[in-house]
Structures are given as structure tokens and as C-alpha cells.
């Protein structure tokens, strides 16, 4: 898919974005980017306008996962994100991968340069009228996260973890970060929650169990739900074909209940509950 | 930044030299076109690589474990490399420079320990199999404490680790790193400038989303001339414990680690299966090499240790 649509809104920044949500985790590889991609499609198919901002500058996976490729261009007001219609909604995206020619080139940037780029993504991109802006972040509690929180003080946060204690321990530190910065934590998603063998249907806990639920209870946070391991999800994210294959993806469907919970917590009414027959 | 030791040609006669402690600060420096840069310390030699070299004189081989991608098993692989080398009777240390997400102490079974500083530096914590471990985890007050630091401060901590830990005599120091190619990685490479990095092990999982990040990390290593020992593909496949069906959890849509290794002309050292016992062992600080010595994954880790020994042998 290429970014053919050009947004007609021509002012920079996030002032017309209704809800900004960062997806964070102290731990790497626990489904931050995956969650952003799936949530974006899920919300768009429900009729919402969704922006995705990839703040993981060293490892920008999101553009591949949502299947939106190209080079961005600028207008008088700032950069114009790539955009595509999705069902009755739309997804707009900004990523460092849209600004570099060689995708294999390492981005060897220190903190200040990363900070400056993320500020530009938030302040110099013409996001226009959006229902949601989802921000993907790298693991950790460093320059990128501090910059997002400083630029967008009203940013809500979703935390992701896998069931392992090792992962939950890192995410516990992320909870402290969120509390320190005053971010509103919407809840915790547990990914990689079990694998169902396609032959005998035995459910195997490949990454231990219980970490997400225990963390939510310990920190008195909402447990948004758990997402099982699904090789199809990995396949579709690699090829950027998640949208058109979502009906064959068990993990994608697990996010339905998570999205409903999130909309409830954020007080957002679903625009069109029959929008799922699009695409 | 190049070192500038000579007196600039446009400097006054009283110039103390750009690398002097008094650079830019003497009365005679007023009006000199170099004064601003000199007084900022721009040209002062960074003594840290020399200090690190001194502190690591007793360490024979230094191995980095890297990946552009998070969650591929760097810390787990670091721990099992250390244990594999220790089982071959080498003396081993591990250093966790993932300052924001220090997992290694838990995986090594020493989380909650405290470290002590003496005149010879910080003493590492020793595991039951005598592996020396150092992590910022030991310096944090509680498991809920977050390290909310920008890059410069993280660099300072890594410098402190490398300059102030009393490692003693070690055959191998294995360094666990966070994902990415940023401050921590640059700090390590810069600090190891005078004491060489003997090799790097790169870790990936099979899916293209991971490979594309690891490709960047390989380019980082090549750009900074870090010798690459090889690639480990982790979580290659899962064999159902009940019916023995093999499933590709993270399908290798673009050829997986084998294709990446071939394209980048680096060895694929081993492919490690996804064994559910690893997750439990890691959480409990136990080694899969001890818990399931006959498992395929343990065989893979032994191959990895052997490969590192072979690579690091004096040529």
C-alpha cells in the first residue's frame, strides 16, 4: 500500500487530536509496536481517524507493520503524514523510516538528536483532526519517553508486558516513570499469553504465566486483557497485510475486547458498530 | 571529536595549550578566537578509555551481546553464554549496561543483592557458579525504582561501571546491552577504545520485523569495526510437548536468521528453539543448561560457548 491520500488539514501539531495515547513498556519485545498497529486498525475499522507516531527511532517497526510505505513531503505548515483510508476510518502515520532512503542504515543518534526528532514529530507534523494519536515507543525510560511526556502532558499510557516475571519487573519500573511524570495509565495489556497448538489444541505457556495480571493487581491498575501468541499475526505484520487478513487472526480478535474496554475508560462512544464489514 | 594537543597558530604567546586544565581560562586567553571552545573543555583528552583499560587489564576477552530488536533474548543468551563458559572452567563476569531495564541480575539468580565499594572499586556479586555480575539493579533501592535518565547520564553510569568495578582476573567479560544503536552502545564502544572488544554476538528472532532491526545493528558493528562472532537465531520454532508438532511461532517470512547471516556474510552460530522451560528458569534465576542439559536448546548454548572460545583464541 502507498500513502496516496494527502490530508487537507494544514496546521502543524496535535491541538486537534482528541486523545493521545502512548504505548510503553520497560521491556523490549512485548508487543508495543504490535499493539499500536492492531489498535490502530481496530479503531479505524470502527470508523475513527487514527494517527500513529513511531517514536522508536533506532528500530522503527510501525511503518512495515501497518503496510504504509513512502516518503513524506512537507507543506507550508510542516510535514504531512502518510495516510490511508481503512474501512470507514483512516490511519495517518509518521516514522523515521519515511525520512531515510536506506532502511538498513543504523540510526546512531544520541539522546539530544532523538529528542529533537520526536519534538518535530509532535509539533511540526500536520496531524489535523484525529480521534486518536497512538505513540509507539522504544523500551525503557529515557530520552524518547521523557520528551513525549514533556511535549504532551495530557498523554495517556497503555503498558504492555509478557507473562514473565522478568518482563513484569521492567514494566513495574515503567509504572514508576508514569507516576513520576503524572501520566494517566489506562491499563496493562499482557501479550504472548500462551500458544495453542494447531494440531492438538494443547495450550502451552511459552513465556510463563500471570505476570500481567499480577502487575495490574500490585499497582492497582486496570488489566485490559491478554493476547495469545498467533504466528499469523507475526506473518501479517511482516508483510503489512494485517488489515485485510484480520478476520483470520486470533490475536487481532483478542484486541476487540481490549478496545471496547479502552473506549469505555476514555469515555469515547463507538462511532459505528457495524463498520467491521468494510475493507 | 579529534584530539587537539598543539598550540594553535592564532593563539597568544601565553597559551597554556588546548588540553590544559587552564585552557581558555587565563587572562591571556581573552580575545583569542579559540577561547570559547578551549574553556568548554572540548579539546581535553578523555581519559576514560585509559582508565577502563587499566580496570580491565585482568580481563582477557570482552564479548558484547547485541541486537537492534528488543525481546529477542539478549539477556537470556548473555546469561547462558556466561554459564556455558563457566562450565568449561573459564572465569567469567557479566555486565548489564541496560540501565533502564536491567534483567540480568534476576536471570542470573542474584537480584536483590547489594554491592560494596572498596578502595579497589565496586565488588561484583558472585553467583553460585562463581560468575561475577554487575548491574545497576544492585544500586537501585527497590524493584519499583525507575531509572529515568537521559543519554548523557546513562553514559556516566556506564563509564562508572567500566572504570570502577573490580573485576579482578577474568577469562571472559560478557556485556549485555539494551536494544538499539544509541547512547549506551556508543558509550561502550568509546570506552573500549583502548582495550579492544574481542567480538560481538548478535541475537535475532526469525521474523522480518526483528531481522530489519538486527540488520541495522550489524551495520553498526561494521561501521564501528566491532568483530562479529556470529548470529544466534532465538525462538526458532516450538515443538508441542504433547503431540510433538513443530510450529513456527515467529514465521521466517524472509528466510530468518539463516538468510540474514548469508546476506551479511557472518556465521549463523546456532538456532535456538523456543523452550517454555527457559521462561520459567529465567524468572527463577536458574540455568536451562542445568535444568534440562539434554534439551536441544542446551545443546545450542554449548555450541555457542564453544564458538566464542574458538573465535577468541589468540591467532
A positions 45-64 inside 8 Å of B (CB): 58-59, 61, 64
Contacts of A108 (CB under 8 A, 6+ apart): B181, B182, B185, B186, B220, B223
Contact between B178 and B97 (Cβ < 8 Å):
yes
A positions 61-90 inside 8 Å of B (CB): 61, 64-65
pLDDT of residue B277 exceeding 70? yes
Q: What is the band of A5 on the pLDDT scale with cuts at 50, 70, 90?
A: very low
pLDDT of residue B117 exceeding 70? yes
Of the candidates A112, A164, A204, which has its C-beta nearest B282's C-beta?
A164
Contact between A140 and B100 (Cβ < 8 Å):
yes
In this predicted model, what pLDDT tens digit does every residue of B157-172 receive, in sequence order?
Answer: 888 878 889 999 999 9
CA neighbor of A48 nearest in space, from A262, A245, A228: A262
- Note whether ipTM > 0.90 here: no
Rounded Cα distance, A143 and B311, in Å = 36
Q: What is the structure's pLDDT at A2?
A: 39
CB–CB contact A141 B180 (8 Å):
no
Q: Any idea which of A68-72, B63-67, B87-91, B264-268 has the lowest mean pLDDT?
A: A68-72
* Residue found under cell 511503518: A63
In this predicted model, what pLDDT tens digit does every residue of B47-61 receive, in sequence order?
Answer: 578 888 888 889 999
Rounded Cα distance, B123 and B164, in Å = 9
- Chain B interface includes A95 (CB < 8 A): no
For residue B227, what is the DSSP state? P
Mean pLDDT of B72-95: 96
CB–CB contact B251 A61 (8 Å):
no
Mean pLDDT of B104-116: 89
Q: What is the band of A156 on the pLDDT scale with cuts at 50, 70, 90?
A: very high
Q: Which of B71, B142, B246 to mutate to test the interface with A (most CBs of A within 10 A)?
A: B71
**Helix, strand or coil, per DSSP, at residue B21:** coil
SS3 content of chain B, % helix, strand, coil (to 5): 35, 15, 45
CB–CB contact B145 A231 (8 Å):
no
Chain B residue with Cα closest to A63? B209
Mean pLDDT of A80-98: 95
A58 neighbourhood in chain B, CB within 8 Å: 68, 179-182, 213, 216
Contact between A186 and A265 (Cβ < 8 Å):
yes
Contact between A116 and A99 (Cβ < 8 Å):
no
CB–CB contact A106 B254 (8 Å):
no
pLDDT of residue B312 exceeding 90? yes
Instruction: Decide which of B90 and B283 is more confident.
Output: B90
Q: What is the band of A91 on the pLDDT scale with cuts at 50, 70, 90?
A: very high
pLDDT of residue A274 exceeding 60? no
CB–CB contact B100 A28 (8 Å):
no
Instruction: Decide which of B8 and A50 is more confident.
Output: A50
Q: What is the structure's pLDDT at B40?
A: 57
Q: What is the band of A275 on the pLDDT scale with cuts at 50, 70, 90?
A: very low
A positions 246-275 inside 8 Å of B (CB): none
A142 neighbourhood in chain B, CB within 8 Å: 100, 148-151, 154, 183
* Average pLDDT score, chain B: 87
CB–CB contact B143 A172 (8 Å):
yes
Mean pLDDT of B284-297: 94
Q: What is the structure's pLDDT at B18?
A: 66
CA distances to A222, B73, B217 from B180, rounded to whole Å, are 30, 14, 7
Mean pLDDT of A135-140: 91
Q: Give the pTM.
A: 0.84
**Helix, strand or coil, per DSSP, at residue B100:** coil
Mean pLDDT of A106-110: 81
Sheet holding B59-66, edge to edge: B125-126, B132-135, B92-96, B170-176, B59-66, B199-204, B228-233, B268-271
A214 CA: distance to closest CA in chain B (Å): 14
Rounded Cα distance, B15 and A129, in Å = 60
CB–CB contact A205 B276 (8 Å):
yes
- Chain B interface includes A146 (CB < 8 A): yes
CB–CB contact B103 A65 (8 Å):
no
Of the candidates A107, A141, A180, which has its C-beta nearest B100's C-beta?
A141
Of the candidates A103, A108, A205, which has its C-beta nearest B220's C-beta?
A108
CB–CB contact B253 A235 (8 Å):
yes
pLDDT of residue A131 exceeding 90? yes
Rounded Cα distance, B87 and A269, in Å = 60
In this predicted model, what pLDDT tens digit does every residue of A212-227 receive, in sequence order?
Answer: 999 999 999 999 999 9
* Residue found under cell 583569542: B32
Q: What is the band of A8 on the pLDDT scale with cuts at 50, 70, 90?
A: low
* Average pLDDT score, chain A: 89
pLDDT of residue B231 exceeding 90? yes
Q: What is the band of B4 on the pLDDT scale with cuts at 50, 70, 90?
A: very low
pLDDT of residue B66 exceeding 70? yes
CB–CB contact A27 B148 (8 Å):
no
Amino acid at each position: 500500500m502507498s500513502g496516496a491520500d494527502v490530508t487537507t488539514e494544514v496546521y502543524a501539531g496535535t491541538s486537534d487530536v482528541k486523545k493521545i495515547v502512548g504505548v510503553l513498556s520497560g521491556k523490549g519485545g512485548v508487543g508495543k509496536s504490535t499493539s499500536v498497529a492492531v489498535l490502530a486498525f481496530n479503531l479505524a475499522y470502527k470508523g475513527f481517524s487514527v494517527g500513529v507516531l513511531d517514536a522508536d527511532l533506532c528500530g522503527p517497526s510501525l511503518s512495515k507493520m501497518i503496510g504504509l510505505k513512502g516518503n513524506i513531503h512537507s507543506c507550508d505548515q510542516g510535514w504531512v503524514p502518510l495516510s490511508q483510508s481503512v474501512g470507514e476510518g483512516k490511519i495517518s502515520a509518521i516514522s523515521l523510516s519515511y525520512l531515510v532512503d536506506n532502511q538498513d542504515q543504523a540510526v546512531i543518534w544520541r539522546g539530544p538528536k532523538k529528542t529533537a526528532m520526536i519534538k518535530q514529530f509532535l509539533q511540526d507534523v500536520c496531524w489535523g483532526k484525529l480521534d486518536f494519536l497512538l505513540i509507539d515507543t522504544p523500551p525503557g525510560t529515557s530520552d524518547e519517553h521523557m520528551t513525549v511526556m514533556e511535549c504532551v502532558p495530557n498523554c495517556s499510557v497503555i503498558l504492555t508486558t509478557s507473562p514473565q516475571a522478568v518482563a513484569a519487573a521492567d514494566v513495574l519500573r515503567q509504572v514508576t516513570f508514569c507516576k513520576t511524570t503524572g501520566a494517566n495509565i489506562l491499563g496493562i495489556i499482557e501479550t504472548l499469553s500462551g500458544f495453542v497448538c494447531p494440531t492438538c489444541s494443547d495450550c502451552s505457556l511459552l513465556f510463563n504465566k500471570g505476570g500481567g495480571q499480577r502487575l495490574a493487581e500490585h499497582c492497582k491498575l486496570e488489566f485490559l486483557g491478554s493476547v495469545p501468541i498467533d504466528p499469523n499475526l507475526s506473518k501479517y505484520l511482516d508483510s503489512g497485510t494485517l488489515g485485510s487478513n484480520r478476520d483470520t487472526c486470533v490475536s487481532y480478535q483478542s484486541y476487540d475486547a481490549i478496545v471496547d474496554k479502552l473506549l469505555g475508560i476514555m469515555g469515547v462512544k463507538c462511532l459505528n458498530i457495524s463498520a467491521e464489514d468494510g475493507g | 571529536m579529534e584530539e587537539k594537543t598543539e598550540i594553535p597558530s592564532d593563539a597568544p604567546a601565553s597559551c597554556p595549550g588546548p588540553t590544559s586544565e587552564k585552557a581558555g581560562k587565563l587572562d591571556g586567553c581573552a580575545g583569542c578566537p579559540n577561547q570559547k571552545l578551549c574553556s568548554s573543555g572540548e579539546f581535553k583528552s578523555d581519559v576514560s578509555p585509559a582508565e577502563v583499560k587499566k580496570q580491565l587489564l585482568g580481563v582477557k576477552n570482552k564479548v558484547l551481546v547485541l541486537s537492534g530488536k528488543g525481546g529477542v533474548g539478549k539477556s537470556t543468551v548473555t546469561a547462558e553464554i556466561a554459564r556455558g563458559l563457566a562450565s568449561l572452567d573459564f572465569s567469567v563476569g557479566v555486565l548489564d549496561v541496560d540501565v533502564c531495564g536491567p534483567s540480568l541480575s534476576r536471570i542470573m539468580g542474584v537480584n536483590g543483592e547489594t554491592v560494596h565499594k572498596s578502595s579497589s572499586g565496586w565488588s561484583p556479586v558472585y553467583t553460585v557458579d562463581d560468575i561475577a555480575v554487575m548491574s545497576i539493579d544492585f544500586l537501585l533501592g527497590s524493584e519499583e525504582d525507575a531509572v529515568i535518565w537521559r543519554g548523557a547520564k546513562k553514559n556516566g553510569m556506564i563509564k562508572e561501571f567500566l572504570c570502577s568495578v573490580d573485576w579482578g582476573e577474568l577469562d571472559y567479560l560478557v556485556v549485555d546491552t539494551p536494544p538499539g544503536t544509541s547512547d549506551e552502545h556508543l558509550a561502550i564502544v568509546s570506552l573500549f577504545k583502548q582495550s579492544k572488544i574481542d567480538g560481538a554476538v548478535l541475537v535475532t528472532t526469525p521474523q522480518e520485523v526483528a531481522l530489519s532491526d538486527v540488520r541495522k545493528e550489524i551495520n553498526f558493528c561494521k561501521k564501528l569495526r566491532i568483530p562479529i562472532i556470529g548470529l544466534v537465531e532465538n525462538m526458532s520454532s516450538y515443538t508441542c510437548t504433547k503431540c510433538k508438532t513443530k510450529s513456527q511461532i515467529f514465521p521466517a517470512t524472509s528466510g530468518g536468521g539463516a538468510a540474514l547471516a548469508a546476506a551479511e556474510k557472518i556465521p549463523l552460530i546456532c538456532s535456538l528453539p523456543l523452550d517454555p522451560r527457559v521462561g520459567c528458569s529465567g524468572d527463577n534465576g536458574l540455568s536451562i543448561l542445568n535444568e534440562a542439559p539434554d534439551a536441544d536448546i542446551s545443546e545450542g548454548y554449548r555450541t555457542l560457548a564453544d564458538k566464542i572460545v574458538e573465535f577468541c583464541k589468540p591467532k
